[in-house]
Every structure is written in structure tokens, then in C-alpha cells.
Amino acid sequence: MNVLLTGATGFIGETVLQTLRGQGHDVRAVVRSEKSAATASESGAETVVGDIADGRWLTEQLAGVDGAIHLAQLEAAGDDAVLDAVSAAFQGTAKPFVYTSGVWIFGNNAEITEDSPLVPTDISVWRLPRLGRVLGSGLRASVIAPAPVYGHGKGLAAWLFSYGPRTEDGALRLVGSGNQHWASVHVEDLADLYVAALERAPGGELYIGASGSSPTVREMGLAAVGPDGKVVAEDDDATRARLGAGLADALLLDQQADGSRARARLGWRPSRPSVLEVLGAR
């Protein structure tokens, strides 16, 4: 399959690109700079430089491909332009399209499924109209809502725990009390899910990208500092002041999920080390 990929040089996108190529797919990476083009080319992609948020240009790039995955991080208007382009290029075909949302749209929930109520934080509320648009498009279009992604020293867990701020006595500052759970997914397992959705999803469905490991923030902090390290809770308002209210309120959510729909319907089998194992190995 010849697959158009946006966001090919991002944390998730670069792994999706490598996974696509490893499974025999050709990739057309649409990128915004010559530097990104060089990076994607090194991973085996055909590259095209342009404005991804230019719907007419992107429609031209979609002509001739067999499917598409959208991973570029854009503002709402940019995402709308991408969806316009995909609709124009893929309407009336069976070409698959995979769109990206996020697990924060579900709010606080200890047993998140794809049928759970949508209670987005402020940082995620813009995603809801696009989610509805994709699932109701009539295209062979799927949506993946990743949990916080980790792996290879990148992602929120690494940023906040492995390299996070310390107190004067060396204790790692947690996000809030640290009692909240985070759903999680290794970037390589998530890339497998994107490819599985591209190849096998019938369209019209949402899949939560979560491995089933949902440790607390405190557990992740303790894994990162090791047996001789210390962690300290932080007042929620202090976390908001440090990280900004939008991101902080998302990170203060208490969420658990296991990606059961993707396992049952797409045969997805996450198998990489858990976030606690990865943090503890550093």
C-alpha cells in the first residue's frame, strides 16, 4: 500500500513511518521543511515539502495514494483543512484514513472504553467536532485516541519524571498529589495499532490506544528516581502555575484504559515494556 503520512518526523510519526516501511508499505511523507524531508527520507519515505494545512495542495498529494494517516499536530483550522482534503480525495472509495484524537477527551474515568461519556478538558474540547466529523464521514475512516505515549527517552513520562524538576533536597516534584492514574502506551505498540487500523479497520470506529498499564503518577515518579530517590506531592494550583492550566488539568485527570476494542477487532497485541519498566531502567 502507498500511504500518505503527516507528522512523519514527530515522536509517534517517526515510529509509524518505520513500522509501515517494515511491513512493506510505501510512504509519502508530507512535511513542512527541507530538514524534515531529509529526516523522513532517511527512514525510507518519499517526501514532499509543502503547507499541510493548505487543503487544495494536500488534496493533490492524496491523489494516487492508497490510504492516509494523519499525525501532524495542527491547530483546529489546520485539522479541518486536512479533513476537507481527505474527504475530497477519498469520497466514494474504500481507501482507509486514520485520524488522531486523544484519551483526555474522556475526562476522569477508571474504566475508559470507546463508549464512555466524552468529558474533555479545556485543552481537548476542540477535538470533539473533528471526532464526530471523521466517524460520520462515510469514509473508511478510523480514529485512534492514544493514551500518554512513552519510549526511547521521549514522551510525557520522560519529560516529567526522568528530567522533571527537583526540590532543593533533590526530591522529584510530582504532578499534583500523584495519586491519579495515567493510561499509557509504548510508542512502538501504538505504531502497530495505527498500521493495524490502516490495514484492517472497517471505518467508522474509535480505538483507544492504551496498553492496559495505568500506574499512578507517584508510581511513575518512584520508578524514575529509583530506590534511593524521593518524590514530593505538589498542590494542584502549583502544578497549574508551573505547567499552565490547560496541560495541568489534563495531567491531573485520573484515567485507566486497556484498549480492548483494538485487541478484539484488530488483533492488536501490545507487548513492549511497561512505562514503569522503562522509567526504572534509566
Rounded mean pLDDT, 45-60: 95
Cβ neighbours of 250 (radius 10 Å)? 22
pLDDT value at residue 16: 98
Residues pairing with 5 in the sheet: 29, 69
Q: Are 209 and 259 in contact (CB under 8 A)?
A: yes
Q: How far is CA 227 from CA 110, 223, 224, 280, in A?
A: 28, 8, 9, 10
**Domains of the chain from N-terminus onward:** 2-150+185-210+257-270 (3.40.50.720), 151-180+215-251 (no CATH)
Q: With pLDDT > 70 as the criterion, what percentage of the chain qualifies? A: 100
Rounded mean pLDDT, 247-263: 97
Write out pLDDT tens, residues 170-208: 999 999 999 999 999 999 999 999 999 999 999 999 999
Rounded mean pLDDT, 54-69: 96
Write out pLDDT tens, residues 19-31: 999 999 999 999 9
pLDDT value at residue 282: 65
Rounded mean pLDDT, 12-23: 98
Rounded mean pLDDT, 61-90: 96
Averaged pLDDT of the chain:
97
pLDDT value at residue 10: 96
